[in-house]
Amino acid sequence: ASGISPESPQKYVEEISQLPKEKGWRGLQELFLYKNFWLYPVFLEGALHARDHFQAQPTDIFLCSSMKTGTTWLKALSFTIATRGHLPTDDGSDMTTVSLRTAVPHDCIPFLEFNEYSTAVTGSEIPLFASHLPYTCLPKSIIDSDCKIAYICRDPKDTFVSMWFFLRKFVAGKNSTDVESFSSIDEAFELFCKGLSSHGPYWKHILGYWEASKRRPEKILFLKYEDLVEDTQLWVKKLAEFFGCPFSAEEEREGVVERVVKECSFESLRNLEVNRSGKHEKRGRAIENSAYFRKGVVGDWRNHLTDEMGKKIDVIMEEKLMGSGFTF
Ligand code: A3P
């Protein structure tokens, strides 16, 4: 895909200021309504810039997701699948590429919205990009061209809990006094249920990609975090096929699929030095890499939300997704 032409962001600042806005989660910026989705300005600016400048190529592959649904894991798996010819040995001696052992997955596969319009760091034969943008907010060339999209979603209860902890940590990182004014989990939950969350409404984000994947299954592969947890090997094979680089019989015999899964497991990634103590830059904001590896389990919401809260969001999702054929 082509590079960026430098342009003053002022024009986007103006465009954004014309949009409807809401207060959203306390302690964070206001949310702006763009094409029926609530976005923070930092993502929105990048979305507008990509809209005007990004030209997808038919060979590009996009990893799309709403926040906190397994993006980091999908990036890790995809990057490892694409660079599996260079899998590191246990002592790391034959690494020929920048690898997951030395870079957080977000530094291996850039987000479209953050203007990092380069392909993955050396070694990936496939041009891999990522985006949190809703389907209808993607640059037109991504929709119109033959490039492919792998989309991951996750149970809304776990997604919400993961988001709350992540954003609270982000706010605390900026200024420790801010965290006291950050939305309580109950308050944030009510907003999430109204669709007021980063890239929300969450159900609408899912629905956009779900419907597109029904129309164009050859273009969009739809994944669920929970399915990935249940049978990672199966989904790693599906991803490789979808990317156009299926595992050969020999690779399967040699256990390459298992190695990819192991290399990207929550435990392996979380324990790496780069993810324990490293930081990751997003538009000049430093985010601790460890924030991307909290617990990585299905159903952790039960430790933070009541049964009634769980029921409430399930009912909303059911209503909103009714008739689509999609269920969790
Ligand atoms: P929890 O907060 O529930 O632990 P995203 O990558 O979209 O920001 O999503 C983050 C969630 O994915 C976090 O969930 C994180 O722990 C989990 N996660 C990160 N790496 C993972 C991995 N390799 N395997 C499983 N889950 C992972």
Distance 316 CA to ligand 1 centre (A): 24
Question: Which residue from 155, 185, 199, 294 has its CB within 8 A of the most atoms of ligand 1, so it is best to mutate?
Answer: 294
Whose C-alpha lies nearest to ligand 1, atom 22?
266
CB 56, CB 133: distance < 8 Å: no
Can you give the pLDDT at residue 170?
85
Q: Which pair of structure tokens corresponds to residue 241?
A: 């096929």
Distance 26 CA to ligand 1 centre (A): 24
Can you give the pLDDT at residue 71?
98
ipTM above 0.95, yes or no: yes
Can you give the pLDDT at residue 280?
81
Distance 270 CA to ligand 1 centre (A): 10
Can you give the pLDDT at residue 101?
87
Whose C-alpha lies nearest to ligand 1, atom 5?
68
Residue 287: DSSP 8-state: E
Whose C-alpha lies nearest to ligand 1, atom 19?
293
Nearest-atom index, ligand 1, CA of 74 = 6
The C-alpha torsion from 19 through 23 and 24 to 26, rounded to 10°, is 150
Q: Which residues pair with 200 in a beta bridge?
A: 38
Question: Which residue from 132, 293, 303, 304 has its CB within 8 A of the most atoms of ligand 1, so it is best to mutate?
Answer: 293
pTM: 0.94
Distance 19 CA to ligand 1 centre (A): 32
Distance 17 CA to ligand 1 centre (A): 33
Q: Which residues pair with 37 in a beta bridge?
A: 34
Ligand 1 pocket (Cβ < 6 Å) reads 65, 67-73, 76, 158, 162, 165, 264-266, 269, 292-296, 300
Can you give the pLDDT at residue 171?
86
Whose C-alpha lies nearest to ligand 1, atom 26?
296
Whose C-alpha lies nearest to ligand 1, atom 8?
68
Q: Residues with Cβ < 8 Å from 162, sequence gap 6 or more?
A: 68, 154, 294, 300
Q: How far apart are CA 231 and CA 289, in angstroms?
A: 26
A 10 A CB-CB count for 277 gives 10
Exactly one of 132, 199, 205, 280 is catalytic; name it.
132
Q: Which pair of structure tokens corresponds to residue 117?
A: 């319009």
Nearest-atom index, ligand 1, CA of 67 = 7
Whose C-alpha lies nearest to ligand 1, atom 12?
70
- Which H/E stretch holds residue 64? strand 61-65
- Which H/E stretch holds residue 153? strand 148-153
**What average pLDDT values come out for the chain (328 residues) when binned by 10 residues?**
49 93 94 97 90 92 97 96 80 62 89 66 74 97 96 98 94 74 96 98 98 97 98 98 97 96 96 92 79 97 98 98 94
Distance 164 CA to ligand 1 centre (A): 13
Can you give the pLDDT at residue 2?
33
Annotated active-site residue 53? The verdict is: no
Can you give the pLDDT at residue 3?
36
Burial label for 292, CB within 10 Å (0-12, 13-18, 19+), is buried
